Chain A
Amino acid sequence: MRRALLWLPLGVFAILAAFFFRGLSLDPNAQPSALIGRPVPAFALSELHSGAALTGQDLPQGPYLLNVWASWCITCQVEHPYLTELSKTLPIVGLNYKDERTAAQNWLAKLGDPYVLHLFDVDGQLGLDLGVAGAPETFVVDATGVIRARVQGEVNARTYARIIAPALAAGRAP
């Protein structure tokens, strides 16, 4: 009994080490979205360039990506080339989040425009309804207009493979 107890610290250490090792590859900022499995919330916003009124009726037929971005957001600039590449095969709706119209327009003019539709959400109202904590965030919307997945932070080859591709595949399956 006494001798068996000598192994206890090693056992405790092994359990803790296993937990901490798992923790190394977890992103503590990544929260599961409460919107998964629900339709894109209703909204009444304006178009970024023309100011024309936009509602949920104006969203494209899915599947598409809904990308929350802003000109003040550094990571948005980082993911922009990847999104531009993606937009050749998958429609991307841009939700311009808590930005200024001219700043956002200049940003698109300078870096290129990967979006099929521009929602201008100056107060972050749709952002709030989507549970957006900060830009960039990207939602995968399926053919029926239901949100399938969310990427918090940069969209790149890694997050595409891990989150977006499986969600698109699941959306395509009957």
Chain B
Amino acid sequence: MIRWIVCLLGSLVLAASVSAAIETYTFDSPEQEARFRQLGFELRCPKCQNQAIGDSDAPISKDLRAEVHRMLLEGATDQEIKAFMVARYGRYVLYRPPLDRQTLFLWAGPGLFLIIGIGLVAYRIRLSKRAMTQEISS
């Protein structure tokens, strides 16, 4: 019973810290608000190791959110907002960087490792099959 209470209290503390980044922004349309949220997920906080500006409490993330909001109200496209951020903070701010020579390994890496993995498994299966047929024939 006590364990349950401790768990409950612990989760309440965590929930409080998660909701700390709530600010009030007003938007012209729900569509604009959705874009704001999406950009908040796709832009990375330049100060934090691995947080999007949408869920970071760092002062710089707050500034960048305000900047995204300002640009949205001014009618900037998502592309323009991302270009604005990249011009200042480099491609580090993009969670989905464009595919080019620098990011090739980043994009191709998972597929590459999958192919290597499948190759290894196939090789092992062939080995054990051969061992079995040898056992049977002997």
Binding site for B on A (CB under 8 A): 28-29, 31-35, 98, 124, 128-134
**Contact assessment for A128 and B49 in the assembled complex, using a CB-CB cutoff below 8 Å:** no
Residues in A whose Cβ lies below 8 Å from that of B80: none
Bound together, the chains give a CA A35 to CA B90 distance in angstroms of: 8
Task: Please name the residue on chain B nearest to A1 by beta carbon.
Answer: B127
1/0 contact string of B57-71 vs chain A (CB within 8 Å):
011100110010000
**Contact assessment for B59 and A34 in the assembled complex, using a CB-CB cutoff below 8 Å:** no
**Contact assessment for A129 and B92 in the assembled complex, using a CB-CB cutoff below 8 Å:** no
Residues in B whose Cβ lies below 8 Å from that of A29: 47, 49
With A131-B46, A133-B47, A134-B47: A124-B63 Cβ-Cβ less than 8 Å: yes
Bound together, the chains give a CA A142 to CA B89 distance in angstroms of: 21
Choose one: A28, A32, A130; the contact of B90 (CB below 8 Å).
A32
**Contact assessment for B49 and A28 in the assembled complex, using a CB-CB cutoff below 8 Å:** yes
Minimum Cβ distance to chain B for residue A155 (Å): 18
Interface SS of B by simple majority = helix
Residues in B whose Cβ lies below 8 Å from that of A28: 49
Choose one: B60, B87, B91; the contact of A133 (CB below 8 Å).
B60
- Residue B86 at the A interface, CB < 8 A? yes
Bound together, the chains give a CA A124 to CA B47 distance in angstroms of: 15
With A124-B63, A128-B63, A128-B67: A133-B49 Cβ-Cβ less than 8 Å: no
- Residue B88 at the A interface, CB < 8 A? yes
**Contact assessment for B88 and A31 in the assembled complex, using a CB-CB cutoff below 8 Å:** no
Q: How many residues of B contact A (CB 8 A)?
A: 16
With A129-B88, A130-B88, A131-B89: A31-B67 Cβ-Cβ less than 8 Å: no
Interface SS of A by simple majority = loop
Since A31-B90, A128-B88, A134-B59 are in contact, a sample of 15 more A-B pairs with Cβ atoms closer than 8 Å, ordered by chain A residue number, is A29-B49, A34-B87, A34-B90, A34-B91, A98-B59, A128-B63, A128-B67, A130-B88, A131-B88, A131-B89, A131-B90, A133-B46, A133-B89, A134-B58, A134-B60
Residues in B whose Cβ lies below 8 Å from that of A34: 86-91
Binding site for A on B (CB under 8 A): 46-47, 49, 58-60, 63-64, 67, 86-92
Bound together, the chains give a CA A133 to CA B47 distance in angstroms of: 6
Task: Please name the residue on chain B nearest to A28 by beta carbon.
Answer: B49
Bound together, the chains give a CA A132 to CA B90 distance in angstroms of: 11
Task: Please name the residue on chain B nearest to A127 by beta carbon.
Answer: B63
Residues in B whose Cβ lies below 8 Å from that of A133: 46-47, 60, 89
Minimum Cβ distance to chain B for residue A29 (Å): 8
Residues in B whose Cβ lies below 8 Å from that of A134: 47, 58-60
**Contact assessment for A33 and B90 in the assembled complex, using a CB-CB cutoff below 8 Å:** yes
Bound together, the chains give a CA A34 to CA B39 distance in angstroms of: 20
Task: Please name the residue on chain A nearest to B46 by beta carbon.
Answer: A133
Bound together, the chains give a CA A32 to CA B87 distance in angstroms of: 12
Bound together, the chains give a CA A142 to CA B39 distance in angstroms of: 35
